Amino acid sequence: MRVLAISGSLRRDSYNTKLLRAAEELVAANVRFEHYDELESVPPYNEDRDTQGAPPAVARLREAIAGADALLIATPEYNASVPGQLKNAIDWASRPVRAGALWGKPVVVIGASTGMYGGVWAQAELRKILGTAGARVVDAEVAVGRAHDRFDEDGRLTDDEIRDELREAANALVLAAGPQLAAA
Amino acid sequence: MSSTIEAVETVPTGTWKADPVHSSVGFSVRHMGVTPFRGGFKQFAASLDDGRLVGTAAVESITTDDENLTGHLLSPEFFDADRFPELKFESSEIERHGDEIVVRGQLTLKGTSQPVDLRGTVSGPIGDPYGGLRFGVELETTIDRTAFGIDWNAELPAGGHVVANDVKLTAELELAKEA
């Protein structure tokens, strides 16, 4: 099965991107990760531009989501909420209603922040947004607080407890995508 | 012949099918604690076959005046229409006393079955202008939607929730006798 990993941070050394790389190492060999890396190029949502010829970056985003069996999204927390660029991408992927790439797509939300709580507010809002957009939000959470202390120089997780939580969340995502895919 | 009128205690025998144009299946749920919000299902079927009432509705045919709301209602947070495209009621027992009726059975919604009692009234049968027979049943029940896994909600600023858990379901069926 294919998991599309989306980091809500555009920063080159993003802890959220590292968290997604760590998740990739914890899943079964038959689960293939694709790391979406074009978030910065998605233009602001404009219904006037959401025609059959949607902007190329949007078309690629929608294709990447539609082609995945499940999504794993790691979000930072900006001003107690979801980064605007991530929200913007979700808005594009949610259209058209009931036929957008996100419709019915299993998704797990995780997150890392340098604060104490791992961006739980942003995660909660992201789940709300995704649920409203019609995605199948899986009940799983990984909140990595003090993210600057949780990865080594090679970007690997140093905390076993977080690694276990991450494995559990990734497995929940694989199961939600369907038992037939978990084995494929 | 007896001079007293005895209450009818049974529903008509034979096979009867709901005329969809002159029947409706709806729901009503209190919104923000202040107003009943009503909707319905445009595609449904119902039949009474020798005292057994079976009704189905296509979840995707849910009607609201806002496509975004319809989308949200069909999404996994509410009905999850892709996985559970149909809601169904099957009666196990019908009690009638005069015009009043109680239909006991199982309601299946979002993959969960729960016993429910539908209560209401019966009218007819009457002869229709086309040489056939028709009778009406008006039924309603109130379910706790969370018992069927439909538990989305949002909080109001001063406390309370946007959508009530209790949902009234109604079926107004004009049943025509099969030849």
User: Which residues of A are less than 8 Å from B152 in CB distance?
Assistant: 131
Q: Which of A91, A98, A139 to mutate to test the interface with B (most CBs of B within 10 A)?
A: A98
What is the CB neighbour count within 10 angstroms for residue A9?
23
Domain edges within chain A: 2-182
- Minimal-distance CA residue of chain B relative to A178: B83
Residue B9, in any domain of the structure: no
**Minimum-distance CB partner of B67 among A97, A103, A136:** A97
| pLDDT tens column, B61-103 | 999 888 899 999 999 999 999 999 999 999 999 999 999 999 9
User: Which residues of B are less than 8 Å from A105 in CB distance?
Assistant: none
Q: Which of B8, B172, B27, B19 is nearest to B94 (CA)?
A: B8
Residue B79, in any domain of the structure: yes
What's the pLDDT band for A181 if we cut at 50, 70, 90? Answer: low
Structural domains of chain B, count: 1
CATH number at residue B21: 2.40.128.110
What integer is the mean pLDDT of A105-128?
96
What's the pLDDT band for B12 if we cut at 50, 70, 90? Answer: confident
What's the pLDDT band for A180 if we cut at 50, 70, 90? Answer: low
**Minimum-distance CB partner of A97 among B68, B76, B80:** B68
Predicted pLDDT at B8: 75
Residue B4, in any domain of the structure: no
Does A98 contact B152 at a Cβ distance shorter than 8 Å? no
**Minimum-distance CB partner of A98 among B71, B77, B80:** B71
Residue B127, in any domain of the structure: yes
CB pairs under 8 A between A and B: 31
Predicted pLDDT at A100: 94
Mean pLDDT (chain A) is 94
Residue B135, in any domain of the structure: yes
What's the pLDDT band for A114 if we cut at 50, 70, 90? Answer: very high
- Minimal-distance CA residue of chain A relative to B81: A104
What integer is the mean pLDDT of B7-22?
89
Strand partners, B177: B16
| pLDDT tens column, A49-69 | 998 789 999 999 999 999 999
A159 pLDDT above the threshold of 60: yes
Q: What are residue A49's phi and psi, to 5 degrees? A: -95, -5
Q: Which residue has the tokens 């995502």?
A: A173
DSSP three-state, residue B87: strand
User: Which residues of B are less than 8 Å from A132 in CB distance?
Assistant: 72, 75, 77
Residue B72, in any domain of the structure: yes
| pLDDT tens column, A67-84 | 999 999 999 999 999 999
Domain that holds residue B102: 15-177
Residue B8, in any domain of the structure: no
| pLDDT tens column, B110-159 | 999 999 999 999 998 999 998 999 999 999 999 999 999 999 999 999 99
Predicted pLDDT at B10: 82
Does A134 contact B70 at a Cβ distance shorter than 8 Å? no
* % of chain B surpassing 70 pLDDT: 96
Which long-range contacts link A96-101 to residues 24+ away (Cβ below 8 Å)? A97/A134, A97/B67, A97/B68, A97/B70, A97/B71, A98/A134, A98/B70, A98/B71, A98/B74, A100/A62, A100/A133, A100/A134, A101/A61, A101/A62, A101/A63, A101/A65, A101/A66
Predicted pLDDT at B57: 98
* % of chain A surpassing 70 pLDDT: 97
ipTM score of the complex? Answer: 0.75
Minimal Cα–Cα distance from B10 to chain A, Å? 45
Does B77 contact A103 at a Cβ distance shorter than 8 Å? no
Q: Which fold, A2-182? A: Rossmann fold (3.40.50)
B20 pLDDT above the threshold of 90: yes
A40 pLDDT above the threshold of 90: yes
Residue B2, in any domain of the structure: no
Does A134 contact B68 at a Cβ distance shorter than 8 Å? no
